[in-house]
Amino acid sequence: MNNKLVEIHYENDIAFVDFNRAEKHNALNMDMFKAIKQTIKTLKKDRNIRAVIVQGKGVDFCTGLDVRSVMKSPSNAVKLLFKFLPGQSNLAQYVSTGWQEIPVPVIMVLHGRVWGGGLQIALGADFRIADEKAMFSVMEARWGLIPDMGGTLALKELMPTDKAKLLAMTGREFSAKQAAKLNLVTKVSDSPLDAAKKLAEEIAQQSPDAVAGVKKLYKNAWWHSKGFALARESWYQIKVMAGKNQRIKTFNQTNPDNTKPFKSRDNW
């Protein structure tokens, strides 16, 4: 896939997603929202990729909502916020929550400004690796708004409520090192893209079915009851063990000099 706003290219079995609105600091207009949604749906169907690495072209990862562009038409707010059921993601939320539907690790490479909607998108990933000079902000407070792009799901997993409220109520900026202390980034690096590639390659050594199973298990069980989590563990383990890749991983582990390639990922 290659369009004006979002590009996908592949290296080995890794999909690289580039936000390509550099002249506007990758700010989110309506076409950008739609392009990200379509990108997620495309990657979700690809059973051969082993990881996704997302980055922004230009000087910033994403500076959030392109307010002037989005607000020029009253119908845009309806398009962003409309949903059939309250518990579903609308278009504004899907650009964050949708990354969790891709059954491979999604790694965000963050640099420059990661503001507002840009931070919401990053929070939807499995891992976030930030450049040492990256700057962050829950920016919505500056526009008299609340964060409403799905990042709340990640915030409740990553940090205490009082710290999340502090960021959302003040809209203050904070550094990559501060973000790491707040548990909002996985790692700070002077070469975040290289670090992301290394992590993706490390995970790719494991069974794609086991990796997909772990991602789905933790997504579904993290905040549910004890019984729900235990039931999901058992069911997903049976599914993993029934697949070919678990046997291939076991063979490779015991025969390091004669390894076999993994099969395409099962349907998760």
Between 73 and 54, where is the model more confident?
A: 54
Q: Which residues contact 53 (CB under 8 A, 6 or more apart)?
A: 14, 15, 16, 17, 107, 109, 193, 196, 197, 200
Q: What is the pTM of this model?
A: 0.89
Q: CA-to-CA distance for 60 and 192, rounded, in angstroms? A: 14
Whether 153 shows a pLDDT value over 90: the answer reads no
What pLDDT, on a 0 to 100 scale, did the predictor assign at position 240? 85
Q: Which residues contact 177 (CB under 8 A, 6 or more apart)?
A: 132, 188
The answer to whether the beta carbons of residues 110 and 61 sit under 8 Å apart is yes
Element (H, E) at 21: none
Whether 154 shows a pLDDT value over 60: the answer reads yes
Q: Which residues contact 237 (CB under 8 A, 6 or more apart)?
A: 213
Write the pLDDT tens digit of every residue in 179-232.
Answer: 999 999 999 999 999 999 999 999 999 999 999 999 999 988 777 777 876 787
Write the pLDDT tens digit of every residue in 84-135.
Answer: 777 888 899 999 999 999 999 999 999 999 999 999 999 999 999 999 999 9
Q: Which residues contact 163 (CB under 8 A, 6 or more apart)?
A: 182
Mean pLDDT value of segment 238-250? 88
What is the CA 92 to chain-centroid distance, rounded?
14
What pLDDT, on a 0 to 100 scale, did the predictor assign at position 3? 58
Whether 139 shows a pLDDT value over 80: the answer reads yes
The answer to whether the beta carbons of residues 60 and 26 sit under 8 Å apart is yes
What pLDDT, on a 0 to 100 scale, did the predictor assign at position 2? 42
The separation between the first and the last C-alpha atoms of the chain, rounded to the nearest angstrom, is: 22
Q: CA-to-CA distance for 221 and 82, rounded, in angstroms? A: 27
| Alpha-helix runs per DSSP H in the chain | 30-45, 67-70, 74-81, 91-97, 117-123, 151-158, 161-170, 176-181, 192-203, 208-221, 226-241, 244-254
Write the pLDDT tens digit of every residue in 20-40.
Answer: 999 999 999 999 999 999 999
Write the pLDDT tens digit of every residue in 30-72.
Answer: 999 999 999 999 999 999 999 999 999 999 999 999 988 888 8
Between 202 and 236, where is the model more confident?
A: 202
The answer to whether the beta carbons of residues 236 and 213 sit under 8 Å apart is yes
- Closest listed residue to residue 27, CA positions, set 101, 109, 120, 89: 120
What pLDDT, on a 0 to 100 scale, did the predictor assign at position 41? 96
Mean pLDDT value of segment 250-262? 91
Between 260 and 74, where is the model more confident?
A: 260
**Cα angle 88-140-192, degrees, rounded to a multiple of 5:** 85
